[in-house]
Amino acid sequence: MSANRPHAEIAGAGFAGLAAATALCQRGWSARVHEANPDLRAFGAGIFIWENGLRVLKALGAYEDVMTGSHQAPGYEGRNHHNERISLEVFGPQRGSRMVTMTRQHLYSAMLLAAERAGVEFVTSSKVVSARPEGELVTAGGRAWRADLVVGADGVKSNVRQSLGVMTKRTKYNYGVIRLLVSRGKNDTPRTNPDNVINYYSPDHRVLYVPCSASELYLALAARDRDKASTAIPVRKDIWSGTFLFLAPIFERIGDEGRYDTYETNKLPSWSVGRVALVGDSAHSMPPTLGQGAGCALMNALSLAVSVHAAGDDVLAGLRAWQQQERPLTDHTQSIASRYAETRAGSEGGSKWDAAAMLAARHVPTGTEDILL
């Protein structure tokens, strides 16, 4: 640490960790990010970024790179297993938010470039095992890294959170999803616009068809936990094609990859302990039913940097102000996403995009008030 330049140690080089580190460095801090894996890369398939997230990416200097090679769907359709349209939602200026989709690696690469330009330092193969409220991050082997601010952005099973003894309300649902990337084909979606995001549903299965780019398609295959055949990896193409016969050509392009994840949430009484802040899935994980997990992580990471920087030497005051300002919207979004996971709202093809569900998407995040997109 420097007496003249405040310093942050950050656990986790995911989206929340990159955003927090970049935003802090842009404000004159130094930031070091610890990543347990030997490489800096994204895990998973596709991702949704709405207007709130796009504004944060602009503030971080990643917006142009993200928009080059991503996909803006003209609409979101609900269709049944007979391929009959039940609903159509159009997003864009008329709804106060764009719906932009991309691969997770595409988003990650753009954010990593922005972090490097801002001067973020990275330490790979550095597993964080704990944190101390006075401002220390501890890695495997016992080394303690001192900082003015420690950020736990190390995921839903956060070692930082667990080491602090933060009481965590963790809810798992009986429904989950297999996420995959496959190539796009010219005739993948008969009787509909292939550029739309399409939610296909049946009583027991759901397929979310998400174009990510001109050549890549993100598939989310949703089923109940107890349905071991439908949640099996490798994907049982015969089962999914039996329900959605018209999607069989897409299912045939699925390889042996994939992972089934049950929907879950984490809810904490506080996002900080002493000089340690928790952000992203370590603090407020939510089901993907609104596509706002990344958006809330990006908003809260940027706001964290804004608040602690504005507080000057009083980091604790900055953390209190951060939570007071940001938590209500995140709690609201997490609550709706959780309710949709419990009730499968929208899974019967009807609209789920009312004003309450769109509140986060239309929000102008802290630190982006003067940004024009």
User: Is 91 a domain residue?
Assistant: yes
Specify whether the CB–CB gap between 208 and 199 falls below 8 A: yes
Crossing angle (nearest 10°) for helices 104-118 and 51-60 = 30
Distance between CA atoms of 304 and 342, rounded to whole angstroms? 30
DSSP assigned state of 345? T
Q: Which candidate, 196, 173, 172, 174, places its Cα nearest to that of 184? A: 196
**Bridge partners, 278 (sequence order):** 152
Give the DSSP letter of residue 164.
Answer: H
Is residue 242 assigned to a domain?
no
- The closest of 194, 176, 169, 358 to 270, measured between CA atoms, is 169
Domain membership flag for residue 319: yes
pLDDT of residue 4: 80
Residues 6+ apart with CB under 8 A from 331: 267, 284
Tokens found for residue 146: 């001192």
Q: Tell me, rounded to whole angstroms, the distance of Cα 337 from its chain centroid.
A: 13
Residue 322, in any domain of the structure: yes
**Does any domain span residue 348?**
yes
**CATH number of the domain enclosing 271:** 3.50.50.60
Place of tokens 């007979």: 82
Q: Identify the domain containing residue 31 by its residue range.
A: 7-171+263-362
pTM over 0.85: yes
Angle of helix 51-60 relative to helix 293-310, nearest 10 degrees? 50
Give the single-character DSSP code of 97.
B
Quote the number of domains for the chain. Answer: 1
Cα(160)–Cα(131) distance, rounded to whole angstroms? Answer: 5
Q: Is residue 206 part of a domain?
A: no
Q: Is residue 92 part of a domain?
A: yes
- Per-residue pLDDT of the chain in tens (373 residues, 90 and over written 9): 445 899 999 999 999 999 999 999 999 999 999 999 999 999 889 999 999 999 999 999 999 999 999 999 999 999 999 999 999 999 998 889 999 999 999 999 999 999 999 999 999 999 999 999 999 999 999 999 999 999 999 999 999 999 999 999 989 999 899 999 999 998 888 889 999 999 999 999 999 999 999 999 999 999 999 999 999 999 999 999 999 999 999 999 999 988 899 999 999 999 999 999 999 999 999 999 999 999 999 999 999 999 999 999 999 999 999 999 999 999 999 999 999 988 766 555 557 899 999 999 999 999 999 998 8
In single-letter form, the type of residue at position 9 comes to E
The answer to whether 68 touches 31, Cβ cutoff 8 Å, is no
Q: Decide if 126 is inside a domain.
A: yes
